[in-house]
Amino acid sequence: MTETSARPRRRSAVSRPAAVAPVKRPTTGVFRPHVRGFGFVDLDESVTTPDGTTVTSCFVPPPLAKGLLADDRVEIAYQVEQDGRATASVATLSERVRTEVFGVVEPGLVLRLDPHLGSGRWTLQGRVEDLPIGAAVLADITGPGTADPSDEWEDPVAADALLERVRVRHRLSQDYPVAVLAEVDAVADAKPRRGSPTRRDLRHLPTLTIDSPSSCDLDDALSVYAADADGGIRVCVHIADVAAHVRAGTALDAEARRAGTSVYLPGWTRPMLPAKLSEDALSLVPGADRDALTVEMRIATDGSVTAADVSATRIRSDARLSYEAAAEALGGGSPEQVPAEVLDALRWLRTAGARLGLQRLLRGGVEARRVEPDLTVEVVEGTAAQVAARPSNPANLLIERLMVAANEAVAGWIVDRGLPGVFRVHPAPGPQAAPALEAFCAASGFHPGFGSTLTPLDLAALSAQLDAAADDTATAVWDVLLSFLGRASYTPQAGAHFGLASTGYLHFTSPIRRYADLAVHRVIHAFLAGGRDTEAFADPAEMTALCTHINAASRTAAQAENQMRKSLWLAELAAADRDAVYPARVTGVGSKGVFVTLDRSRVSGMVAVRELPGRGWSVTADGLALADASSHRLGYGDVVTVRITCADVESGQLELALAGNGGGPPATVSRAPRRRAPRQTVR
């Protein structure tokens, strides 16, 4: 959420047992700007003052922040003030990692920086006479505060201009280093070693892939054996064997590790590995022999995985199905060009997926799907276009269940052998989640009846209700539920995954597009090659550093995607009729106002306290609503109608106001006595 105070108190960054006198201290760190002109320096090392105050980041006032860019390495002197805040008194640039900036041309041929990059105006050099005022410009940095334009867009909110803005913010490049490109052809042209005694030949098994029609990097395929005498079904999940071709220590590996993940933005993709590998030589395309790592699982009639093993294999995909084609086949249709043996395999896979679903019901959690908005904005031939979201179908759920089962099976396989790994851990939400989510659900027509804390079974029960409703209200609850659950993270220590109700989980199934999976594949290869000295696999400090890095890379990719989609929507909303109103729902509460999410686009913005009718609005004792002096209340889950007061594409801020009803408080603002506190139960 956007910080709104002129000088925010970074209380999470400073742990202080007592007030201290101002102390000036020099140190180094990385600059992080705020869209309002100030910034923060995240210190390289936390500093503990003599009285025990721990400082991890430092506030940088606007005068010192001007001229600095995001990710600049700086040397600062700061003081810890009486109230415990660390504030910079000096900030000096020591290293600049960025080579380009993005902004808008202003009179005098100066560049107003994108506020996510920094504040202030930069002087434009080179051939700038023809640059129109208000144009968006990409420019190469030539010196302190100077830049040479390399590209321009007359419309600063055109889709391709927005894409370039987001790309520069997150230092995303379409290009690969020369050393990487020099290795690509050799890897792509290398022939797999035929007849390798350590690689099982499974090309006789009917094998298929199921994916989106637009997917190019096919890294998972499926085979299945019919049920045995006891009813057990053996499912083979084949994953592209990237580790066998992209060797550790190569330029390709170094670049893949740096990127950490493929990035998918509307209208733009940056694969972790160059397209010649990710979309061709390593992709499990139909009719081509491919190396794979295969996890074979026996799924019993009750849905339990009674046995699992991992091996290096050779496979050949017989058919590529879209989710829609697979669902049609499972629904009794006859998709063209689907071999009979592939159709039979698909039906056995459906049975295996249904069995896995039984176990999911027993243990709880939510399915690992992503809930999409009803309407999204995509970039089609360089132009933003509103596109209806493609609905999920049974084939999506089948693949998700099989991939989750494979990831869990490999996590158990690694732990059982005492091997190091890159695990995916998701902690349980904090105690505030249950009452807040209960209140939102109640306002939305659902009564989940949570206890004092959320459990995976609570999630499963609520999920079943939302799936049955399948409307805008259910979608809004999904959004809030997922926000309370938060993100999972990578860690070298195995642990539970709350959202999936899993005792152990990792990422194994997408090594073409995630470096975490590739790292896991290398551990497996080392073991299969005879490595048994677990201490020789990886240094614990190295694994910790790797997890820290890929967590940051994953966050960057997610932030870039979210910012791009929101930018496209903000551009649409900014161009809309100023009198237009939008149905929305309250999804957050703070002292400065309430956060609401628009129904169709699911873009969020703030209704500030100053925009609310009446006076004396403050957060209620339970933290679930704002209430005014007349006992009107506005809180989690309330349905509202809003109008847009500001849609700022540059900052990413959306400011809203309630659409009134003739001068009085809007009908959606209720009186506090009508809203009971969430009922607490004991499980």
pLDDT tens digits, one per residue of 65-124: 999 999 999 999 988 877 778 899 999 999 999 999 999 999 998 999 999 999 999 999
Task: Name which of 108, 133, 140, 130 is nearest 121 in CA terms.
Answer: 108
Q: Which long-range contacts (CB under 8 A, 24 or more apart) does 451-456 make?
A: 451/680, 451/681, 451/682, 451/683, 452/680, 452/682, 453/428, 454/428, 454/429, 454/484, 455/364, 455/683, 456/363, 456/364, 456/365, 456/498, 456/499, 456/501
- Tell whether the torsion through CA atoms of 176, 219, 410 and 553 is positive or negative: positive
- DSSP string over 284-317: --BT-EEEEEEEEEEE-TTS-EEEEEEEEEEEEB
Write down the number of H helices and E strands in the chain. Answer: 13, 33
CB distance 133 to 78 below 8 Å:
no
> 182 and 147, same structural domain?
no
> Residue type at 665?
P
Q: Which two tokens stand for residue 502?
A: 């899993």
Q: Which domain holds residue 607?
A: 576-674
Question: b vs e for 593-605, b when ≥16 Cβ sit within 10 Å of the residue's Cβ?
Answer: bbbbbbbbbbbbb
* 469 domain-assigned: no
Query: Torsions phi, psi of 658, nearest 5?
Result: -70, 140
**Which residue in the block uniquely carries the two structure tokens 């550790």?**
248
- Quick one: what percent of the chain has pLDDT higher than 90? 67
> 277 and 142, same structural domain?
no
> 21 and 72, same structural domain?
yes
Q: Which two tokens stand for residue 483?
A: 């926000």
Q: Is 63 exposed, middle or buried (0-12, 13-18, 19+ CB in 10 A)?
A: exposed
- Tell whether the torsion through CA atoms of 67, 71, 72 and 76 is positive or negative: positive
The span from the CA of 549 to the CA of 542, in Å, is 11
Residue 399 DSSP SS3: helix
> 407 and 517, same structural domain?
yes
> 615 and 559, same structural domain?
no
* 455 domain-assigned: no
CB distance 221 to 211 below 8 Å:
no
Condensed to tens digits (0 to 9), the pLDDT of residues 511-567 reads 999 999 999 999 999 999 887 766 667 788 899 999 999 999 999 999 999 999 999
* 438 domain-assigned: no
* 386 domain-assigned: yes
**Which residue in the block uniquely carries the two structure tokens 């209960």?**
438
> 219 and 151, same structural domain?
no
Q: Which long-range contacts (CB under 8 A, 24 or more apart) does 338-346 make?
A: 339/206, 341/206, 342/206, 342/208, 342/318, 344/206, 345/206, 345/207, 345/208, 345/222, 345/223, 345/224, 346/208, 346/321
* 331 domain-assigned: yes
* 434 domain-assigned: no
Sheet holding 233-240, edge to edge: 199-201, 305-316, 289-299, 233-240, 220-225, 208-211, 319-322
- Give the number of C-alpha atoms closer than 13 A to the C-alpha of residue 536, restricted to the C-beta side: 6
Instruction: Give the list of residues 6+ apart from residue 211 with CB closer than 8 angstroms, or none.
Output: 218, 320, 321, 322, 323, 399
CA torsion 373-379-383-384 (nearest 10°) is 10
The span from the CA of 465 to the CA of 448, in Å, is 9
> Residue type at 239?
I
Instruction: Give the list of residues 6+ apart from residue 380 with CB closer than 8 angstroms, or none.
Output: 267, 387
The CATH number of the domain where 24 resides is what? 2.40.50.140
The span from the CA of 165 to the CA of 138, in Å, is 8
> 583 and 558, same structural domain?
no
The span from the CA of 672 to the CA of 42, in Å, is 42
What residue ranges of the chain have pLDDT lower than 70? 1-25, 49-50, 191-197, 334-336, 368-376, 380-382, 386, 388-390, 470, 533-536, 660-683
- The H or E element that residue 133 is part of is none
pLDDT of residue 52: 75
> 290 and 272, same structural domain?
yes
The span from the CA of 420 to the CA of 492, in Å, is 7
Task: Name which of 355, 183, 193 is nearest 273 in CA terms.
Answer: 183
Whole-number Cα distances in Å, 314 to 69, 158, 208: 49, 47, 14
CB distance 295 to 308 below 8 Å:
yes
Of the residues 53, 71, 95, which one is the last residue of a structural domain? 95
> Residue type at 610?
R
CA torsion 70-71-76-79 (nearest 10°) is 70
> 60 and 15, same structural domain?
yes
- Rounded to a whole number of angstroms, the CA Rg of the chain reads 27
Instruction: Give the list of residues 6+ apart from residue 359 with CB closer than 8 angstroms, or none.
Output: 302, 303, 304
Of the residues 565, 589, 620, which one is the last residue of a structural domain? 565
> 276 and 208, same structural domain?
yes
CA torsion 489-493-496-497 (nearest 10°) is 20
pLDDT of residue 24: 60
Q: State the pTM of this model.
A: 0.88
CB distance 315 to 254 below 8 Å:
no
The CATH number of the domain where 151 resides is what? 2.40.50
The span from the CA of 102 to the CA of 408, in Å, is 43
Write the DSSP symbol of residue 119. S
* 616 domain-assigned: yes
The span from the CA of 8 to the CA of 76, in Å, is 19
Of the residues 545, 565, 585, which one is the last residue of a structural domain? 565
> Residue type at 663?
G
> 212 and 327, same structural domain?
yes
CB distance 346 to 269 below 8 Å:
no
Residue 477 DSSP SS3: helix
pLDDT of residue 672: 39
pLDDT of residue 197: 63
Q: Which two tokens stand for residue 457?
A: 């079974």
Task: Name which of 239, 180, 187, 213 is nearest 409 in CA terms.
Answer: 239
pLDDT of residue 230: 96
* 79 domain-assigned: yes
Task: Name which of 115, 163, 72 is nearest 560 in CA terms.
Answer: 163
> 345 and 328, same structural domain?
yes
Total tally of structural domains belonging to the chain: 4
